[in-house]
Amino acid sequence: MKKLKKNAILSIALPTDPGVLWRFGRFFLKLFQVRRKLNISNLEYDYMIASEHINSIFNLVSIIRYKYKKNIVKEQYLPLGLRVLDWNLFYNVTLKK
């Protein structure tokens, strides 16, 4: 936020890992796509996801809401639109400075 100009908009999209729907999608991706499309083992795929998704979505949302509560313009839960992180694939937030 320090680098943004006055009235600037910042949009952030985060995967809802380790939510239920996210894990369900990852399971089917591993089952049908990982070896064929990425040409890596399931173990390598699990390692890749673990190293990229260090913080859970629950912690990230808590940090955003605490530090930028006055800047939040809009929160979206996609694709279902329910305000439950476990049942969506992505959490999107729009902040305004």
Q: What is the pLDDT of residue 26?
A: 85
Stronger pLDDT, 23 or 64, i.e. the higher one:
64
- For position 38, what pLDDT does the model report? 84
pTM of the model: 0.78
Which tokens go with 34? 């990982």
Q: Report residue 78: phi and psi, to 5°.
A: -120, 145
| Residue 83 pLDDT greater than 90, yes or no | yes
25, containing H or E segment: helix 20-32
What's the pLDDT tens digit per position in 29-81?
Answer: 888 888 788 888 889 988 988 888 789 999 999 999 999 999 999 999 999 99
